[in-house]
Amino acid sequence: MSKNLAQTIIRASGLGKQVITGGGGLTILSDVSFEVRAGEAVAIMGVSGSGKSTLLGLLAGLDTPSTGSVRIDGHELFALDEDGRAALRGRMVGFVFQSFQLLPAMTALENVMLPLELAGVEESRAPALAMLERVGLGDRVQHYPKQLSGGEQQRVAIARAFVTRPKLLFADEPTGNLDAATGAQVIELLFGLNRESGTTLLLVTHDEALTRRCDRVLHLAAGRLQVNDS
């Protein structure tokens, strides 16, 4: 299916986020609306403090908006309670973070097995091993995060994100803690898995090498969506 004909998998409508501070109200996001089609790779860019990570958190249902709505694959996200949103994430969403977020007491293999186990998959070892092989870490499966380089930890994180074959992957600065060469390897891996699985990618990034690989770039400035380049 061409991306022009693909269904809308994310629809954000009038999203706003305000918080109360000691000095009064602070607007982080204001009236953000856009759609993402299934299989697309979309980058979110903006200076520090423009609301990028807040937007990603709202789209994933990790935070609740002050105004507006989010539909994920036809589900009204904030019509669900917290448990319902968590269940939806478990079925459909993978995450990759700048800081890797691996569990230090678990091996690489155990970290990748974890989302399968949480999803109730009876045989989690074989698909986790296969995914670690796919990201080039077949010889590091029994290593703990502290025994791995930053690039290796991010590859474990990517394996963990993709092992459940999610429809959506949210990545927050996935190359932010990596040198240019390692970042380039991670970019190739993300987009290779995107092609193989048809997973929709939504990436918060400052990395122009990453944005060049995306289908579109959404620019945030002072909490508002400025440009939507198709």
pLDDT in tens, 76-133: 999 999 999 988 988 899 888 888 899 999 999 999 999 999 888 989 999 999 999 9
- Are 61 and 41 in contact, with CB atoms under 8 Å apart? no
pLDDT in the model for residue 192: 87
pLDDT in tens, 90-103: 889 988 888 889 99
The domains found in the chain, sorted by start residue, are: 40-61+78-229 (3.40.50.300)
User: Is 22 a residue whose pLDDT tops 80?
Assistant: no
C-alpha dihedral (212, 218, 223, 225), degrees to nearest 10: 150
Predicted TM-score (pTM) above 0.75: yes
